[in-house]
Amino acid sequence: MISALLTPAQRERILRAATLAPSKHNTQPWWFRWDGANLEVHLDPERTLPVEDPDTREAHISCGAAAFAARLGYASLGFGTAADLLPDENAPGFLARVRITDAAPDPLFETLYWSLPDRKTHRAPFLETPIPPLFLEYMRDAARDEGTWLRVIERGPVYEHLLAVVREATERETDQRREERAKWVDPPDAVHRRDVVPARSLGPRPETPTGAVRDLAVGRDVSGRGTTAFEAAPALAVLETRGDTRTAWLTAGQALLRVLVTGTRYGVAASFANQPLEIPELREEVASDAKYYGTPQMVIRLGMGRDVPRTPRRPVTDVLGPE
């Protein structure tokens, strides 16, 4: 039986890979369950953000990314996989099943697996070195391979429009959003938790707070951060899907991680500038420039990165449900 092929160590390897997926404010909104050798990905409603993410779109994206990360873990063990999205209409929180197939794994997946631990959300200034065009093309290919489109915007009117929309969203931030975020960004009990953004991972405060860099602790005095100038014109990218369904969100999550880990292989770092996607009318503004797949799911700041601290992850014992 296939289930007998997975040892406890192999299961732990797959789960550890899955937990390395990115999530909004490091909420890690997932839990997992084994079904034989297949891994189920479930949404944890206690780890969602009702104010910033009321329809759980970004939580779905995170869980899609976790499913893809699990697939990389399987591939590192020589197993080909497929991801069944929303496999049970009677269980809306059951978002994906990663199952072993008879096919060989994608030949790129094992390479991406070894880059997975090096992927970090980059909240510090990038290097002044521009991203080589070939690296950006590899990242576009990664998005296309997962059925999405990565629209990279470096200069020109569309760039200025997107940057203006990001700035407007930042300026329109409400106290309610900041209060919700404060529960996950350097909260008072951060030292005892592995599911928050700790102070050491916040990066310095930008001198220009309305740029493409999101200050997760804006308005709060977090000791030791300091203030610095960030790059004046980082590359921006918008990850687009063909529609805006739950399946599209999960597809976006798989593509997002494939894009990010592909970039990691070549020294490209990323952080997120999703502020305008949290406000319906501004999300429409971002969509107005979409020329390909049409529906924006993520806004990403890209650059050649320095080493930065990683955000913590919960141990696999905390994310695993009963079989």
Q: Evaluate whether residue 200 is within a structural domain.
A: yes
Confidence of residue 80 (pLDDT cuts 50, 70, 90): very high
List 32's β-bridge partners, or say none: 41, 320
Confidence of residue 212 (pLDDT cuts 50, 70, 90): confident
Coil/strand/helix, residue 151: strand
Q: In angstroms, how far is CA 99 from the centroid of its own chain?
A: 22
pLDDT at 274: 95
Indicate the number of domains in the chain.
2
Q: For strand 205-206 and strand 149-153, is the pairing parallel, antiparallel, or unpaired?
A: unpaired
pLDDT at 1: 40
- Shared domain for 280 and 194, answered yes or no, is yes
Confidence of residue 245 (pLDDT cuts 50, 70, 90): very high
Residue 280 has pLDDT above 50, yes or no: yes
- Shared domain for 184 and 47, answered yes or no, is no
> What is the CATH classification number for the domain harbouring 241?
3.40.109.10
pLDDT (tens digit, 9 = 90+) per residue, 292-320? 678 999 999 999 998 898 899 999 999 99
- Shared domain for 140 and 289, answered yes or no, is yes
Q: Evaluate whether residue 221 is within a structural domain.
A: yes
- Shared domain for 64 and 148, answered yes or no, is no
- Shared domain for 181 and 291, answered yes or no, is yes
Q: Evaluate whether residue 323 is within a structural domain.
A: no
Residue 195: how many CA atoms within 13 Å on its side-chain side? 16
Q: Evaluate whether residue 316 is within a structural domain.
A: no
Confidence of residue 232 (pLDDT cuts 50, 70, 90): confident
C-alpha to C-alpha distance for 72 and 103, rounded to whole angstroms = 14
- Shared domain for 153 and 298, answered yes or no, is yes
For residue 238, with 0-12 CB atoms within 10 Å meaning exposed, 13-18 middle and 19 or more buried, which class applies? buried
Q: Evaluate whether residue 78 is within a structural domain.
A: yes
- Shared domain for 160 and 231, answered yes or no, is yes
pLDDT at 95: 98
List 236's β-bridge partners, or say none: 153, 301
Q: With b meaning 16 or more CB within 10 Å and e meaning fewer, what string describes 108-144? A: bbeebbebbeebbbbbbbbeeeebeeebbebbbebbb
pLDDT (tens digit, 9 = 90+) per residue, 141-152? 999 999 999 999
- Shared domain for 218 and 291, answered yes or no, is yes
- Shared domain for 98 and 170, answered yes or no, is no
Range of 170's domain? 133-304
Long-range residue pairs from 114-120, CB within 8 A, at least 24 positions apart, any chain: 114/76, 115/261, 115/264, 115/265, 116/17, 116/20, 116/69, 116/72, 116/261, 116/264, 117/20, 118/264, 119/20, 119/22, 119/260, 119/261, 119/264, 120/269, 120/308, 120/309, 120/310, 120/311
- Shared domain for 74 and 189, answered yes or no, is no
Residue 183 has pLDDT above 90, yes or no: yes
- Shared domain for 109 and 227, answered yes or no, is no
